Structure 1
């Protein structure tokens, strides 16, 4: 490591460590990196919030350490012969973190919160498999019409609108967590922002939240599987700058990093100090197709072909990523469990830039050699990696299109709101798959979806996705999704950059932390080894 870099790390470490202490026995420190916009299970739509929620809540089923759904609060379930009714039996003696009984009614209330349009959940569509779920969301049915029955405190029965091939996967997702009506209704917007009001039912409970600094999770003694939770506390610090975070790790103040300075990642991997976990996600730019000049598909394609994805992963991101030659990454199953969706679908985009084709498209759109192209800005949330990517994009668009693109960075919460409100022309984005299924990355671009920040709409695309959600024939589901991806890559409301990997560093003092390929970090099996 160069002397200058060492000095810089030492300076940043001194500044950060002046305000934090070393991890203590029974405690693990994880760099969450940013302040979550929310940790309300029905409102969250970001990986940072997910990493908090998954450690605070348990659903009817939970994510196992093989990433498959396994019994959670429900110890068993039965499915009717036609697959349209599922009956879940809760474990005996379930409790909330404050000691009050957890019942089937709490799961019913949590599901209705997810589907209640007033909560504007970005994941509400995932529960449309419930009878009248979508009708309730759209105000065409009452809550009493939704297919959720509670025969008794320990039994929850779900009646479906249509077959649901991903039923158990959905129920293991954090958005399907239970909720306490008496807590939520006292403060519908703020209950999940304060330790004193956030009751949970998972392995940990929120005990402290120093906003924009750190939050602390402590072991929940009322968790049904508390005997297998070996640590007392997880402290999640919010060090945005990856160089500062690395300095804190090297000083022994942080136990786990999953964001490493890109310029140092190769040497840290080579030395064995860092490892690379598999990840199923895609980093991309998103265009606002409702605003000029990106309402023209020729402009979107020109910007897409101007990017050299191979250079991006080899010279900029440096973490073992792969060039995104389509939207769905490698590693997601295709028509058969032994087949890969990406290998089946082939490639749609070149790894290398194609300046000639890009310039031709831009000229056809009325901007030969970039002349007359309006002022545009690329918006992103600030981190060293995001900044490096933004600068590389800016340079490629200038070199290969003759177009000047301004760069505008924003604090994470502000940026999320900017993107959700459509206050951008082109912006940073990324999706990590929710399930081992291509649909979880494609469903967000359906017309009217809260996740559809591109304002994209195509009737054929919508029909294919809707059919895939209820199609029990796996080969037909895959056919739907391959066709949908082809439409997405034709219209390009998104500009795929690279497929994720997760370089990380973990202290030798800890073990048993599970880093999911879906980028979620689970601490319920973690231990302090020293």
Structure 2
């Protein structure tokens, strides 16, 4: 979500909820320093302010405007940004970060330890009602701050200007990785409270780019190079993100690339084989096996998906290999686990027994156990305009053919889809995808499957990314145990046990395809254009020919 992408949700190609896709812009408007304008197409973000940036479109922008303690390299390794060092104590419940000196926000305010405390507190405070605040729930004082009984983050303190001390409520030997999420960005004093609309629409950050004017909702967002950036400066002069109609955004991206309007684009699934044939020989086809997963999320609390048997019946009814070959033309590969293969230290294939191959007999057996009967209705939601229609329809037909259910497809624009999933009493299944925000299994398990990841408000609305509302105390205990385990090999074993419980025994979610991403790239005008760890273009590193 993820979501990612929160990890972030992904719109397209499946950044969960879903990831959004960026389309690049075609003009080569030269500016000072010999730069250029790079144009992208996205759908309307929920937020570009780190206080609530959660899906791919919003986090794409937030990562250009802000830089925190760490980033993540393409290969999934942690890359220091403003952190000169990070040291846990022996117990793993306290971290000390030394912050790079003499960097500043684009308005001249200093980026120091207090700026980090200010930013993290702003996200976690109750008044912000942030959907991504849960990433900080391991910090001491989070519950009081998020619950409204305190306005201070008791676990955060500064020792001098550039030493940040973080006290955790429980040991976590991977806490440094989590600070790569935009929610952990520093904030200038001018940011004010969470409902500061002028700042929400034109954030003042410390990243490689800064806003040019304000976010023009449903029209565009324009970024320009931040020449006062304290690290390696961007080569591009400007980035223009056109906000496209969510009903057919991915099609508009593809057509925009073909016409020269965009420099980066996703493609509708049916057009991928043709696009590969045309653009790969020209060096304009990019592929990356990324740190994400495509899956179907059943709503665990409500009928008809409120039993593991019902969820397994749906999973066994799906012929992933057939859809991968037919709909995706071999460009996607079936998934048999929730974790992605590039999490090499933790990944295990074939965790999900019901994912290995379609088994009609077992699907019917589990449906009977669950009380699912032919003619029963199953709601199947997905986000429109991102190329999901074909495969969603294929899954629906397989479920109808095998189980005799009536599958009711419910397509919504991405922003509306995310909101619909949060509603109390949501039912059926939903197409989802998750792209990692930081390189740890915890970034999948905690947001998507932990009880804390539900984060309901007083009205039962799920504010976290566990939209399916799966909850198992044993699973939660395993996550705590993993965080407290200093040895990486032993920690991986615990994560494996947790995944087996949630994905195989409980079938909390239904893995579908691994996340292999494809993009079209304008290499005639730009160099060093890649799909980064977050499934976005690496805007701060792009060169100009």
State if a TM-score over 0.5 links the two structures.
yes
Q: Quick one: which of 161, 165, 171 aligns to 1:157?
A: 165
Q: Distance in 2 between matches of 1:255 and 1:319?
A: 25
The 1:408–1:510 alpha-carbon spacing in structure 2 relative to 1, beyond 3 Å, is same
Q: Distance in 1 between matches of 2:474 and 2:43?
A: 38
Q: Distance in 1 between matches of 2:534 and 2:110?
A: 32
Q: Distance in 2 between matches of 1:159 and 1:40?
A: 25
When normalised by structure 2's length, the TM-score is 0.84
Q: Distance in 1 between matches of 2:44 and 2:94?
A: 40
Q: Quick one: which of 446, 455, 462 aligns to 2:450?
A: 446
Q: Quick one: which of 210, 218, 224 aligns to 1:212?
A: 218
Q: CA RMSD, aligned part only?
A: 2.5
Match of 1:485 in 2: 499
Secondary structure at the residue paired with 2:222? Answer: strand
Match of 1:8 in 2: none
The 1:156–1:437 alpha-carbon spacing in structure 2 relative to 1, beyond 3 Å, is closer
Match of 1:402 in 2: 404
Q: Distance in 1 between matches of 2:72 and 2:353?
A: 33
Q: Distance in 2 between matches of 1:319 and 1:201?
A: 42
The total of aligned residue pairs comes to: 495
**1:232-283 Cα distance to aligned partner (Å, 9 max, x none):** 11111234432322121122111112x2121121233344142211212111
Matching of residue 376 in structure 1 with residue 378 in structure 2: yes
Shift of 1:418: 0.6
Q: Which has the higher contact order (CA 8 A, sep 6+)?
A: 2
The 1:101–1:218 alpha-carbon spacing in structure 2 relative to 1, beyond 3 Å, is same
Q: Distance in 1 between matches of 2:169 and 2:371?
A: 48
Matching of residue 118 in structure 1 with residue 127 in structure 2: yes
Shift of 1:296: 2.7
Match of 1:316 in 2: 327
Matching of residue 472 in structure 1 with residue 481 in structure 2: no
1:327, 1:485 within 8 Å by CA — same for their partners in 2?
Answer: yes
Secondary structure at the residue paired with 1:400? Answer: helix
Q: Quick one: which of 349, 354, 358 aligns to 1:349?
A: 354
2:293, 2:511 within 8 Å by CA — same for their partners in 1?
Answer: yes
Matching of residue 456 in structure 1 with residue 470 in structure 2: yes
The 1:346–1:424 alpha-carbon spacing in structure 2 relative to 1, beyond 3 Å, is closer
When normalised by structure 1's length, the TM-score is 0.86
Q: Distance in 1 between matches of 2:417 and 2:140?
A: 36
Q: Distance in 2 between matches of 1:453 and 1:461?
A: 17
1:281, 1:431 within 8 Å by CA — same for their partners in 2?
Answer: yes
Match of 2:16 in 1: none
Runs of 5+ unmatched residues, structure 2: 1-24, 454-463
Matching of residue 177 in structure 1 with residue 191 in structure 2: no
Shift of 1:64: 4.2
Match of 2:538 in 1: 522
Q: Distance in 1 between matches of 2:242 and 2:416?
A: 19
1:39, 1:192 within 8 Å by CA — same for their partners in 2?
Answer: no
Match of 2:197 in 1: 190
Matching of residue 268 in structure 1 with residue 275 in structure 2: yes
Q: Quick one: which of 485, 510, 519 aligns to 1:504?
A: 519
Match of 2:176 in 1: 168
Matching of residue 230 in structure 1 with residue 232 in structure 2: no
Matching of residue 359 in structure 1 with residue 364 in structure 2: yes
Matching of residue 277 in structure 1 with residue 292 in structure 2: no
Matching of residue 251 in structure 1 with residue 253 in structure 2: no
Secondary structure at the residue paired with 1:280? Answer: strand
1:229, 1:525 within 8 Å by CA — same for their partners in 2?
Answer: yes
Match of 1:34 in 2: 43
Shift of 1:367: 3.9
1:358, 1:401 within 8 Å by CA — same for their partners in 2?
Answer: yes
Q: Distance in 1 between matches of 2:481 and 2:188?
A: 34
The 1:72–1:467 alpha-carbon spacing in structure 2 relative to 1, beyond 3 Å, is same
2:48, 2:201 within 8 Å by CA — same for their partners in 1?
Answer: no
The farther-off stretch of 71-80 and 407-416 is: 71-80
2:40, 2:239 within 8 Å by CA — same for their partners in 1?
Answer: no
Runs of 5+ unmatched residues, structure 1: 1-19, 335-339
Larger radius of gyration: 1
**1:12-66 Cα distance to aligned partner (Å, 9 max, x none):** xxxxxxxx98342333434343111111213122122111111110002333455
Q: Distance in 1 between matches of 2:90 and 2:310?
A: 51
2:117, 2:156 within 8 Å by CA — same for their partners in 1?
Answer: yes
**1:405-447 Cα distance to aligned partner (Å, 9 max, x none):** 1111112211111112243422121111233322211112111
The 1:448–1:161 alpha-carbon spacing in structure 2 relative to 1, beyond 3 Å, is closer
Secondary structure at the residue paired with 2:212? Answer: strand
